[in-house]
Amino acid sequence: MVDVATTSPELLTVRDLRKAFGAVVATNGVHIGVRAGEIHALIGPNGAGKSTLIAQICGEQRPDSGQILLDGRDVTHTPAFARARLGLGRSFQITELFAEYTAADNVLLSLLLKTGRAFQAWSNPRSDARLVEQAMVRLTQVGLAERANARVGDLAHGEKRQLELAVALAREPRVLLLDEPMAGMGPEESARMTDQLKAIKGQYGMLLVEHDMDAVFTLADRITVLVYGKTIFTGTPGQVREHPEVRAAYLGDGEC
């Protein structure tokens, strides 16, 4: 088996990223990279700086110092919308969907945004057979084909998380930032999402922020551990399990 963690080019590179809010240093010299085809998980206790790091990578917050490269291009000061156009996709910790529209409509809107045709949404994209077919491909990819015409407000929590993934995939990103995709899920829903991410693994570079350690150790090629804003270790799941500082800071004996 080819080890994507060592052989694939790096699509996302974060170098020495620092962000402070007054006396609180949220990210303190963070280094992390995501290679083509790999799932790189980011773990750490609450307050470790994970959300702040994701916000900086997406362009929602500007770092005080450091550098963010997307496919070799410096995007440190590039607006969030421009990073999306360059191939950076994201799912959110809190689901952000149009609740009054159907699952298919949400994916169609994402497709329109990708093509620059969002201003044509009034012309009823449902009549565009090619767009509808593309939307169904994405819904099928996440296991929601049978729920295409369901209103988002009527979907179960786990289905909404699946839909958000389909919306992100519709933009055809090169790198996916997955911010706690299992948040609020029960064991069966988490297992289903894990299987879906496993099914698309290798097609995208993915940075996975997640508290579900079963999912992390099942999916990740590499894991970076963030504590008090600092990356204390990066390695394979096996290396992370055995690292004494990681066990002491986050995992503990019960998680291994």
Ordered by where they begin, the domains of the chain are: 1-87+173-256 (3.40.50.300), 97-172 (no CATH)
143: left (phi over 0), alpha (psi -120 to 50) or beta: left
Nearest Cα neighbor of 235 from 222, 226, 225 is 222
> Model-level pTM?
0.87
pLDDT computed for residue 254 by the predictor: 47
Q: Where are the beta strands (DSSP E) in 75-213?
A: 88-91, 175-179, 205-209
Tens of pLDDT, residue by residue, the chain (256 residues): 445 555 678 999 999 999 999 999 999 999 999 999 999 999 988 888 999 999 999 999 999 999 999 999 999 999 998 998 899 998 765 567 888 899 999 999 888 877 655 545 455 667 778 889 999 999 999 999 999 999 999 999 999 999 999 999 998 899 999 988 988 888 899 999 999 999 999 999 999 999 898 999 999 999 999 999 999 899 999 999 888 877 776 665 544 4
CA atoms of 21 and 109, how far apart (whole Å): 35
Any idea which residue has 């590499």 for tokens? 222
Q: Phi first, then psi: what are they for 124, rounded to 5°?
A: 65, 85
167-225 pLDDT per residue, tens = 999 988 999 999 889 888 888 999 999 999 999 999 999 999 998 989 999 999 999 99
Q: Cβ(45)–Cβ(52) under 8 Å?
A: no
